[in-house]
Structure 1
Amino acid sequence: MKRALPVLTVLAVIVGIWYLGAWRMNMPWALQQAERAEQTLSTGELFKATMNQTRPRVPAPHQVAAELWSVTGEMAIKGRAMSKRSFIYHGWVTLRTTLTGFALGVTLGILGAVAITYSRVSEMSLMPWAIVSQTIPIVALAPMIIVLSNAVGIEGRGVPKAIISAYLCYFPVLVGMVKGLNAPGPQQLDLLKTYNASAAQSFFKLRLPASMPYLFTSLKVAIAAALVGTIVGELPTGAINGLGARILIGDQFGTPLAIWAALIAATCLAGVLVVVIGGLQTVVLRAMGMAR
């Protein structure tokens, strides 16, 4: 409960600010409607009018929650959880690509970190390019990846989205693992040399265990970045399935509630993924004797 209290407090503040923003942004339309009807609204009536608009500029939290429930909970209760109208189905489509891109990005990040740690040439060549790669806007890069994928004969929308996802998530893993693999001090490394330990033994018995806290911290950032990459990748691919596709379709049809519901669904999915990695971190570090 002590751990949850700060999170719940911040959540309550965010919801409060959200309600104030919805009230302020939706107020002009409510006043215009009242003026046309030659009515004078009290403060309470005005607040109520801003909270229940069909096409609000900023939907109120309870409206988004109701929309989210109608396309998740109600669909699940009716046995239609995997219907194409259900956010559970679209969340699964996005999650599947996210995990694929995450696995690819983590693999590339770890391999790159090992190369940088053990090779001065790799450090001088890979790291600058890794940093420069993150300055390219993903919105501009995503269409290029899709065009190149089609040019080399890669069919389907899943692979380009996974590549975009991997592109965003490999960098935090690379940086975190470089820091973690170099965490052992000179005295620890010299001690292994006195035992005539090989490079492999030094890696698996010292460097890799020391890098675990850094790795899991990076993975939490990487999984969120991978999800963002998948959603961004769904926008220019013309996808009709996935949370990114629901955001785009909601924008095309002018339904703010659908857009906000998809955004909140993506936020919840990211939160679940981070919590899962946090749980794995606790289990692994505890097994290694590095956490209570």
Structure 2
Amino acid sequence: MGHFREKIWPVTAILIVLVAVWYVGAVYMNAPFQRDLNKRSGAAPGAIEFIEQTLSQPKPTVPAPHQVAVNVFENTFLRKVSSNRSLVYHSWVTLSSTVLGFAFGTALGILIAVGIVHIKALDRSVMPWIIASQTIPILAIAPMIVVVLAAINVTGIIPKALISTYLSFFPVTVGMVKGLRSPEIMHLDLMRTYNASRSQIFWKLRVPASAPFLFASMKVAIAASLVGAIVGELPTGAVAGIGSKLLAGAYYSQTIDIWAALVAGSIVAALLVTIVGIAGRLVERSMGARPS
């Protein structure tokens, strides 16, 4: 319980500071429009009333935290899950492509890492290209993937999942390579002394040693996969998903909806990272690691 308190208090303090800064920023950013509005109407509000007006605009430049919170609550708990305005519905659409892309990316990353560790030619030839591939902006790659796949009648969840795969396989590859190479030379020599085969060294030494590295990289990969799924919804003109909410909000200047969609995406990302972290701890404990 004491350990939990040590973690929760710093997070709470930072959250309070961020919300306070958010309120100040909302007042500052919304003030010019409100002054112009009051000037046109001939109103002359006091300082407190003026601040309240900047924090209650229907289409503010920067919505206040309470406006976003109300929007998230209404579109999460007061809408039918099947409603086009439900954040649960849009989050589920994005989550589907996120999980599929993450699964593809993780499998691809592990396969590439195993090849790089065991085949020196792959280490010298493939790894530089993998690193170079991540220098290309995803906003440039996403439309290309969507257009090419649409030309061969591949639409729907697959293009978004492949964009997620593109972003998620890299951290898994790098983390898994580091993990598979993490056993000390002394341990490798000991396995060879016992006449262990390459497969035995791999499964009994390298794989257990790589587990912490793998799950740490998977946390990064699942978050990147979510970003890829959202970005993948933008060039497709998707009618559902967090990306579609962002597009609709931009078209109709519904900034509160935009921020609410971003909050929904952040919550989904936090849940996914937490699930991966729990899975990592369970796997490590099953391998004999001490609980932290």
Indicate conservation of the 8 Å contact 1:105/1:170, yes or no: yes
Counterpart residue number, 2:102: 102
Deviation at residue 113 of structure 1 after TM alignment: 0.5
Aligned partners of 1:11 and 1:287: how far apart in 2?
A: 35
Cα offsets for 1:104-124 (capped at 9, x unmatched): 000010001001101110001
Q: What secondary structure sits across from 1:53 in the alignment?
A: coil
Deviation at residue 38 of structure 1 after TM alignment: 2.6
TM-score (norm 1): 0.96
Q: Is residue 118 from structure 1 mapped to residue 122 from structure 2 by the alignment?
A: no
Cα offsets for 1:75-95 (capped at 9, x unmatched): 2xxxx2222221111111100
Question: Residue 161 of structure 2 aligns to which amino acid in structure 1?
Answer: A
Counterpart residue number, 1:24: 28
Deviation at residue 150 of structure 1 after TM alignment: 2.1
Counterpart residue number, 1:291: 290
Comparing 35-44 with 204-213, greater Cα deviation is found at 35-44
Residues 85-234 of structure 1 mapped to structure 2, 5 A cutoff:
85-151=85-151, 153-234=152-233
Aligned partners of 2:249 and 2:43: how far apart in 1?
A: 33
Aligned partners of 2:214 and 2:251: how far apart in 1?
A: 40
TM-score (norm 2): 0.96
Aligned partners of 1:175 and 1:13: how far apart in 2?
A: 35
Counterpart residue number, 2:46: 42
Deviation at residue 40 of structure 1 after TM alignment: 2.5
Structure 1 moving runs of 4+ over 3 Å: none
Q: What secondary structure sits across from 1:84 in the alignment?
A: coil
| Structure 1 gap segments, 5+ residues each | none
Task: Give the aligned length.
Answer: 287
Aligned partners of 1:83 and 1:48: how far apart in 2?
A: 32
Deviation at residue 234 of structure 1 after TM alignment: 0.2
Aligned partners of 1:7 and 1:281: how far apart in 2?
A: 22
Aligned partners of 1:285 and 1:10: how far apart in 2?
A: 31
Comparing 9-18 with 117-126, greater Cα deviation is found at 9-18
Comparing 44-53 with 82-91, greater Cα deviation is found at 82-91
Q: What secondary structure sits across from 2:188 in the alignment?
A: helix
Q: Is residue 65 from structure 1 mapped to residue 64 from structure 2 by the alignment?
A: no
Indicate conservation of the 8 Å contact 1:184/1:207, yes or no: yes
Aligned partners of 1:182 and 1:25: how far apart in 2?
A: 51
Indicate conservation of the 8 Å contact 1:157/1:239, yes or no: no
Question: Residue 197 of structure 2 aligns to which amino acid in structure 1?
Answer: S
Q: Is residue 53 from structure 1 mapped to residue 52 from structure 2 by the alignment?
A: no
Question: Residue 197 of structure 1 aligns to which amino acid in structure 2?
Answer: A
Indicate conservation of the 8 Å contact 1:282/1:291, yes or no: no
Q: Is residue 245 from structure 1 mapped to residue 244 from structure 2 by the alignment?
A: yes
Indicate conservation of the 8 Å contact 1:149/1:155, yes or no: yes
Indicate conservation of the 8 Å contact 1:181/1:210, yes or no: yes
Q: What secondary structure sits across from 1:3 in the alignment?
A: helix
Aligned partners of 2:32 and 2:210: how far apart in 1?
A: 54
Counterpart residue number, 2:234: 235
Aligned partners of 2:14 and 2:172: how far apart in 1?
A: 28
Q: Which of residues 6, 12, 18 in structure 1 aligns to 2:16? A: 12
Percent identity between matched residues is 48
Deviation at residue 253 of structure 1 after TM alignment: 1.4
Aligned partners of 2:248 and 2:40: how far apart in 1?
A: 32
Question: Residue 160 of structure 2 aligns to which amino acid in structure 1?
Answer: K
| Structure 2 gap segments, 5+ residues each | none
